[in-house]
Amino acid sequence: MPAETLSASLEDYLEVIYHLISEKQAARVKDISKRLKVNYSSVTGALKALAERKLVNYAPYELVTLTSQGEVLARDVIRRHEVLRDFFIKVLAVEEKHADEAACEMEHAVSPRILERFIEFVEFVETCPRGGVNWIKGFGYHCDHDDTMESCEKCVSEILDELKEKKQDIEGKQRVTVQLNELEPGLKGRIVKIGRQGDARRRIAEMGVTPGSLIEVERVAPLGDPIEVKVKGYHLSLRKDEAKKITVEKL
């Protein structure tokens, strides 16, 4: 049976195994059972099904590992979850707990085309001068209170004033570009250019990342290597030398 026909339940197992390996360097049946709140027999049955599809390496009483294909599928499930979760939090102003629960339920059904639209919309809201954090806060307030036309007019007025300030600020500054390794954790940039050589370019190209995409630096190791980034819903670990080959515009 092809991997594309995986049930939502089996996708959950791949996701949990991936997270356990990332957290504990190993995945055991008892840990999988505890994380998914199911009994041992259910876990072993699922692992056998995944092993038949060549997605995991499994034998009784041994550690569970992902095959290369299994890791690719697990990363895809996690990406779907995080993209949906980000959309619910950043655009719909949903509380994190509820956003996580909804993402868990919807991640198995969303198509690649729709997922890309979610990503594009979140990026649009975050970077459009008429959107941004204040726009999200305004929507959250609207959902929790009885808004009136008066409050809408006030919001529009504040946004226009802020837009004018941003325009004046942009006109007074030149575009600042830096190498990705120079971007501090928590900051975002728009990719301007990607170096021609190295595994990083190939990995990024396979994900459909091109100049113009937003990239966020999540963590930097104490000695500056590696650098953990997030782009188009993917989490990547880049070596410092790889990050130096990616030019970004600071946002």
Could you report the per-residue pLDDT of 18-36, keeping only the tens digit for each? 999 988 888 999 999 999 9
Residues in CB range of 117: below 8 A, 6 or more apart: none
3-state helix, strand, coil in the chain (%, to 5): 55, 15, 30
Flag whether pLDDT at 129 surpasses 60: no
Crossing angle (nearest 10°) for helices 149-171 and 132-144:
170
pTM score over 0.95:
no
CATH, domain range 3-72:
1.10.10.10
- Domain positions in the chain are 3-72, 132-171, 177-250
- 135-145: per-residue pLDDT in tens? 666 665 555 55
Q: Is 195 in contact with 201 (CB distance < 8 Å)?
A: yes
What CATH topology corresponds to 177-250? SH3 type barrels. (2.30.30)
Distance CA 13, CA 56 (A): 10
Please say whether the dihedral angle defined by the alpha carbons of residues 108, 110, 113 and 115, taken in this order, is positive or negative. Answer: negative
pLDDT band at 67 (very low <50, low <70, confident <90, very high): very high
- Looking at residue 239, its pLDDT comes to 86
Q: Is 134 in contact with 159 (CB distance < 8 Å)?
A: yes
- 42-62: per-residue pLDDT in tens? 999 999 999 999 999 999 888
Q: What are phi and psi of 201, to 5 degrees?
A: -60, -40
Flag whether pLDDT at 249 surpasses 50: yes
Distance CA 152, CA 140 (A): 13
| CA dihedral of residues 221, 222, 223, 229 (deg, nearest 10) | 20
- 174-233: per-residue pLDDT in tens? 678 888 888 889 888 888 888 766 666 777 777 667 788 889 899 898 888 889 998 888
pLDDT band at 159 (very low <50, low <70, confident <90, very high): low
Distance CA 179, CA 169 (A): 23
Q: What are phi and psi of 169, to 5 degrees?
A: -65, -40
Tokens read off for 224: 């500056």
Residues in CB range of 85: below 8 A, 6 or more apart: 96, 99, 100, 102, 103
Mean pLDDT, the chain, as a whole number? 82
Higher pLDDT pick, 46 / 156:
46
Flag whether pLDDT at 1 surpasses 50: no
Distance CA 68, CA 85 (A): 26
